Chains A and B, each alone.
Chain A
């Protein structure tokens, strides 16, 4: 019996009860589809987080202070919180190539918030950032329209402002018309120097609802001369992030005379570490989704067994006839195995097709990214499911004695 003959017999067998075959195929295709789609969703969310973090810059260190609580906890008349406050002098020291050779750019950051008004329109800017021009390239925040402010603007406390996309849209409807206009932030007039390029959200807050002004101007007009909120440090190279981090820690520890027995009051967030952590999380998430999907694939496989058992029972007489006509054990085995495998392979193909369509759309806010190996794996597993779950009914059919099978009513 040639493979073509076997295939023909199997197809006739399957078409004998189309609805039943269809439902079984559906079970398998849901399993296969679920595996591919869910793995793609997991992969997609991982990729999205990675892309956002990479957009932030992977060689970025964010230095902030925890306030030096350790001294007080021990009840000493020890260092005050002020001793560990970050200052512009710290930023200047970090920018010094001799003190921190692996640091390429430093930007001190102070944040505030305020209501911006333009004519009759007012908008509350959640985050008004005061910083230096280094901030924009270091944090991957390009100016899309107009231009950035300069170091000279910082030195002379110019009242210029860069608006985020959301802020610009809220105030001027069309961001393009914003450049050159004057707005009020609090009670002070600012000239819009530029509009920042749109950024993807990395969290719950809108990264476009910002405004950036020279740090000197912010201090003079809005925030006062308190400590810096943070210092953004860019490592010279992706591979030098760790050494840069060590230099920053050492330098700040020395400058603020932190006792050696005390935990560092400075928190240095390393974007590469954050990236690694979120990738691990995404991998766990993907594995979890894949497990759930694999369970549904197994359920689909059990459906194949079930239907094949019914089929074998129903067609016992046919098996008897075939045996009387000279069909050998392995011929019968082959016929039913091929039927079962066809069921699950067709199911697999349908599942892949549906998955390919479904993954073109956003699911739960995530753009799924197909993992090519998951398609091959799902198809292979569905064929294996057919062979595995079909083998028991097929063996039962092949093992029937011809006379028993023929007598079956």
Chain B
């Protein structure tokens, strides 16, 4: 195993159900992502790209195959260790933002830091810095329902960045956003990648995928194309 690979999955399959009714979401996928890459995963709905994202994010485990993340075999980790990996190494950005309702923007950003056992003052400081990074310092005390979609997604990005993860996993991050907010969010991804962070975006929109430097196409549970689109 090459030490420099941040993500390496080998011949991963994922099957839901069993017997006659089994659904094969992934039928043997191997993939290697180096640190600092900007990867877009494209595919139509039902292609298995969301399953791939869930496995990459340690939200789900493969039925078969290996997943090495930053040098450790995810399948061997306990439930709590997987939680730790999610908290420390991965930042999630979802299509539906997934902010905790009735909780201020700042508290939302603070949450992963809380789970990482940081002290209160340190948490506040880092959360405020992350919010400043996405330009929402003035909305720190707003609750999700008081923010626009674009603002909510920016809070979610701040939350994903708060713990300083090595990987950003974004699942259809612009799916619920207007053109202007889409531009803003994608601009942030560009900037984050330029700063050296690994970004994996799952999308079915070509203009989103075009921002990445590597494009992986998934169809029917297999990788059908994997090309570097931009240097």
Which A residues form the contact surface with B (CB < 8 A)? 1-2, 4-5, 12, 15-16, 317-318, 320-331, 401-403, 406
Are A317 and B98 within 8 A (Cβ)? yes
CA A321 to CA B152, docked complex, whole Å:
15
Which residues of chain A come closer than 8 Å to B80, judged between CB atoms?
328-330
CA A331 to CA B101, docked complex, whole Å:
19
The majority secondary structure among interface residues of chain A is helix
Counting residue pairs across A and B whose Cβ atoms lie within 8 Å, the total is 69
Which residues of chain B come closer than 8 Å to A326, judged between CB atoms?
83-84, 86-88, 112, 115-116, 163
Are A403 and B79 within 8 A (Cβ)? no
Are B57 and A325 within 8 A (Cβ)? no
Chain B nearest CB from A316 CB (Å) reads 12
Which residues of chain B come closer than 8 Å to A402, judged between CB atoms?
59-60, 86
CA A330 to CA B79, docked complex, whole Å:
11
Are A323 and B98 within 8 A (Cβ)? no
Which B residues form the contact surface with A (CB < 8 A)? 54, 57, 59-60, 79-80, 83-84, 86-88, 92, 94, 98-103, 111-112, 114-117, 120, 159, 163
Chain B nearest CB from A327 CB (Å) reads 5
Residue of B nearest to A15 (CB): B102
CA A361 to CA B124, docked complex, whole Å:
51
Residue of A nearest to B51 (CB): A403
Are B117 and A324 within 8 A (Cβ)? no
Task: Report 7 cross-chain contacts, Cβ distance below 8 Å, ordered by A residue.
Answer: A5-B120, A12-B102, A318-B100, A321-B100, A324-B86, A328-B115, A329-B80
Chain A nearest CB from B130 CB (Å) reads 13
- Looking at B98, B99, B114, which has the most chain A CB atoms within 10 Å of its CB? B114
Chain B nearest CB from A315 CB (Å) reads 9
- Looking at A5, A329, A401, which has the most chain B CB atoms within 10 Å of its CB? A5
Are A325 and B120 within 8 A (Cβ)? no
Are A321 and B98 within 8 A (Cβ)? yes
Which residues of chain B come closer than 8 Å to A329, judged between CB atoms?
79-80, 83
Which residues of chain B come closer than 8 Å to A12, judged between CB atoms?
102-103
- Looking at A318, A320, A324, which has the most chain B CB atoms within 10 Å of its CB? A324
Pick from A2, A324, A328: contact of B92, CB below 8 A.
A324
